[in-house]
Chains A and B, each alone.
Chain A
């Protein structure tokens, strides 16, 4: 008899995809400015490390909160015992205000419709448990339809996916979008949102909008939340569509606090809220953390300063990466949010295939010393796209990464040029590339690539 469940024994978790392979190599040889300057620079981790000192300075000014005190009095016992799955009311009140603020107050949220869970990972899973039976399906946009329409969702794409599901005998329960998008770094425009809404109305299915990057939009006016989009359609409050709109949010990307495990589900459907609330028993947020963040978010001066400063810094970092890559002849998808760029390296592929993408990915990992995420790991339909993170390192480290990429591109380009010439020009070619590239060149001899 099988002793463990299929879930435990099988590999559907996906731990062994290329997305994780790069991480493993990074763990073995991590870059450090002083101790390991030739190590691998981690550019596969979508973390926001740019604004910590703002939070740290707030903490230094508010020692009572850390000491689990309120008005000088210890609330330790109250917190230690607080395990109500409805969540700390004060915390939820502050969260809905914060979420509204991030959206420029164009929408309002009701704390009673908010369910706290341990991270958006937990939120997404709980929503699936609430909306879909085993074997039913959700449609997810992949980086798809490249080039001319910048990976935007189209009516055709939605219908195609729906038909595809039908052919596979899968009952479609909804569409899940990440807005702003990971890995694209773009926000959905109104056309896309309206298409989505029309589609959900016509097929009578759910929309789950994962808005965990909503606070990373460089310019707040360009972000349209799903709630805003549905509101602007003047759809009647009692229309059944409202019960099929659900949002996921977290403080991991905006506030850079993935370790604290703060996520949430927001739903207009009472049954979903009730069920998800009970399900949150399996992943509640630590009361110690709820208390800390209630206080932090209730400081409006702090949140205003943080939101504005954080946006500025992210924008500036993105521009640094984009222009650095551009100098190396590499273009990025025009983005307005998130902690990464969606980078076009199609022209660096040896052939228009995923094998070539994998090959390039390995070269970038082992030769250039950068861990970036290949598009295939994001289910991109076209080879050659990569996600590169820019907010999880210092400016100096980003400069090093950019220089490495520039050098690498130069070497590839000149190697390519060399291939088009005859072998008699070998010596003059060799003089034209950087010294450190030569030992790595696979064309002169058959030595394997240096690791």
Chain B
């Protein structure tokens, strides 16, 4: 059944409405106009409802409406990659996936631990099978040994400057589940959380879809390296009020996705003061805490609260942390996330809600053994950080040689890359155009800043930890080649005005490739 009304349909309806009104009221007059409007409007509504396929009315709006966000550009790049994925041997011209924030750098450490410790994966403890015990274990309070090991691991990542109580931790099937559950606990449908932009595109689904909560952005800009300011916080709060949205809290990702930076102490203090004044919550999504590889180092919000002697105050109960083993340990498939809250009621409610997404007992047991091995965790944390730092540096230097700079970062599995100078114009249309070229021509799937709700066009998130060094080298090379050609072809807005002075700065081999010497040679693929 074809849906939707055409212009002709609307015109017909209007005409009928006019006839109907004329039969009832002298026209033209205000009363006649009102009758016509009413008649037309109600007819259009009836037609729209009648035109709705019966099937669609049987399902909920959550099932049929596109608020899930699956069709944003963030996912389109993935789809293109799926059709033509790079493989060193089988498909060397394919698309290199740089849109996936996975940590593939330290698997050998985990594999070697598994080789040396076969018991936990084999459902054994001290030589004896505990399969039955694990098969039956579905207590939503979680495996105590696992929670103990997890809080110790969290503390270790934070340099043991804070400690966590396993009784305040709730296990969930991944941070995706943790974030959604927290929203269910803290916000009614229609209430809002403030999030600094740019932010992880998945939040539009995780925080809003089934919860029906709203997100209001806290606009951060490159003028101060995207740091959160008091002005921006107040502006966001005000915007929410303008939209008649009750603000229940602020959610930050620290370290940030997509920026790759840790929040500074002053930003954290600002946030705590803000939520204290407004009487609202703070969720700190710290899933990248184990990926911090250089100074200024990671400061958890708990640490700042402690330093401010907030542990007896009311605000203590309004700060909640989300963590996961997906980024630090590189285990997204195992679905291990957690909520940490100082509020007993939040812990109690989210514990019960975790029934809808418990962690497999098989996995809890394996990881409790892994994380209890302190020698392993100490070595893993430091080695993993070293490798991430090296990789990040490789990408940053490589991009620099291509004339592309990145936001200075100290964490994460990606860089926040500045390609504003490559845009045809300072607009999101130009960003999309550039992005498509990079996906289809350069064959790199990277994430455009607009998909992360960045307010400035031209920024892209580029991942570096989900591939081999060789693949990263190739990606950098492809990008370099593209930039050279792109610049030479005069595609960027800055190029047109300063072409000649730029040419003097380019090495000779670049000039040879410049298409201004030849006439309109098509882009090389």
A347 within 8 A of B: no
The size bracket of the interface on B is 35 or more
Q: Is the CB of B174 within 8 A of A284?
A: yes
Highest count of chain B CB atoms <10 Å: which of A6, A49, A118, A125: A118
| Nearest CB of chain A from residue B193's CB, rounded to whole Å | 12
Q: Is the CB of A286 within 8 A of B135?
A: no
Residues of B within 8 A of A49 (CB): 132, 136
| Nearest CB of chain A from residue B430's CB, rounded to whole Å | 31
CA A282 – CA B111 in complex, angstroms?
27
Q: Is the CB of A284 within 8 A of B173?
A: yes
- Pull 22 A–B residue pairs with CB atoms less than 8 Å apart, ordered by A: A3-B186, A52-B135, A76-B114, A81-B330, A82-B333, A122-B357, A130-B59, A206-B58, A258-B135, A259-B360, A259-B362, A260-B135, A260-B360, A271-B59, A278-B68, A279-B210, A284-B173, A285-B335, A286-B173, A286-B334, A286-B359, A288-B334
Q: Is the CB of B360 within 8 A of A8?
A: no
Q: Is the CB of B186 within 8 A of A4?
A: yes
Q: Is the CB of B357 within 8 A of A282?
A: yes
A79 within 8 A of B: yes
| Nearest CB of chain B from residue A70's CB, rounded to whole Å | 14
| Nearest CB of chain B from residue A315's CB, rounded to whole Å | 22
Point out residues on B near A: beta carbons under 8 Å.
54-56, 58-64, 68, 70, 102, 104, 107, 110-111, 114, 118, 121-123, 129, 131-132, 134-138, 173-174, 176-177, 180, 184-189, 205-206, 210, 246, 279, 281, 318, 326, 330-335, 343, 345-346, 349-350, 352, 355-363, 366
Known A-B contacts A3-B281, A82-B333, A256-B136; A285 and B205 likewise in contact (beta carbons under 8 Å): no
Query: Nearest residue in A to B185 (C-beta to C-beta)?
Result: A8
Q: Is the CB of A130 within 8 A of B63?
A: yes
Q: Is the CB of B131 within 8 A of A52?
A: yes
Q: Is the CB of A74 within 8 A of B111?
A: yes
Known A-B contacts A1-B279, A286-B360; A81 and B102 likewise in contact (beta carbons under 8 Å): yes
Main DSSP-derived SS at the A contact region? helix
Residues of B within 8 A of A56 (CB): 129, 131-132
Residues of B within 8 A of A368 (CB): none
| Contact partner, A55, options B61, B64, B135, B318, Cβ 8 Å | B135
A94 within 8 A of B: no
CA A173 – CA B70 in complex, angstroms?
26
A132 within 8 A of B: yes
| Nearest CB of chain A from residue B146's CB, rounded to whole Å | 12
A80 within 8 A of B: yes
CA A283 – CA B358 in complex, angstroms?
7
Residues of A within 8 A of B177 (CB): 281-283
CA A5 – CA B63 in complex, angstroms?
23
Highest count of chain B CB atoms <10 Å: which of A9, A52, A284: A284
A129 within 8 A of B: yes
Highest count of chain B CB atoms <10 Å: which of A8, A47, A284: A8
CA A52 – CA B129 in complex, angstroms?
11
Residues of A within 8 A of B318 (CB): 3
Q: Is the CB of B356 within 8 A of A121?
A: yes
CA A315 – CA B209 in complex, angstroms?
45
CA A5 – CA B180 in complex, angstroms?
13
CA A323 – CA B430 in complex, angstroms?
79
A140 within 8 A of B: no
